[in-house]
Amino acid sequence: MATKRMTGFSDQVMSLVKSLRAEAPDCVAAGVVDMATGMLLSYETVDNHPPEVLDLLAGATLDLFQGRTVVMIEDIFKERRGVSDDSHFFQEILVNSENLTHLFLRMNEQQDVVAVVVCRKSVNVGMLIAQARRVVREHSL
């Protein structure tokens, strides 16, 4: 029974990546990171990348969302607002590099799972966010 659940989850992750790759505008890569394990669960890209770069993506995603300073900021917000649950304030992060735009989105149900979409820098950011949110919402993990 555990095997069925893992296969189902794996299929859901691969479906999410395929949908992001197909539906996000100007998308050149998409992936899913499990921050609990620090692993890149699945990805699709138009280019070949060295495995060590892909491994670093998972670590960088973990640092962005759950790095020591980020956790400290979230803890201060929770304290000031009287929030006592384990929810996270930072749900989406947009990073622009020299040639690319990277969007990181926490999954709604599984807060330790993050979808990553990489697009050409010329992408319409509003359309990227709208499409990525829609796809993530449709693929609850």
The average confidence (pLDDT) of the chain is 89
Q: Which residues pair with 104 in a beta bridge?
A: 93, 116
Domains of the chain: residue spans and CATH: 28-138 (3.30.450.30)
Residues in the chain: 141
Contacts (Cβ under 8 Å, ≥6 apart) of 37: none
Q: What is the pLDDT of residue 2?
A: 33
Query: For 23-33, how does the pLDDT look when each residue is reduced to its tens digit (9 = 90+)?
Result: 999 999 999 99
Residue 8 CA, distance from chain mean position = 19
Query: For 38-57, how does the pLDDT look when each residue is reduced to its tens digit (9 = 90+)?
Result: 899 999 998 887 778 877 88
100 pLDDT band, cuts 50/70/90, is: very high
6 pLDDT band, cuts 50/70/90, is: very low
Q: What is the pLDDT of residue 7?
A: 58
- Comparing 53 with 60, the larger pLDDT belongs to 60
- Comparing 101 with 140, the larger pLDDT belongs to 101
Q: How far apart are CA 53 and CA 89, in angstroms?
A: 28
Give percent of the chain above pLDDT 90. 67
- Comparing 12 with 50, the larger pLDDT belongs to 12
State pTM to two decimals.
Answer: 0.88
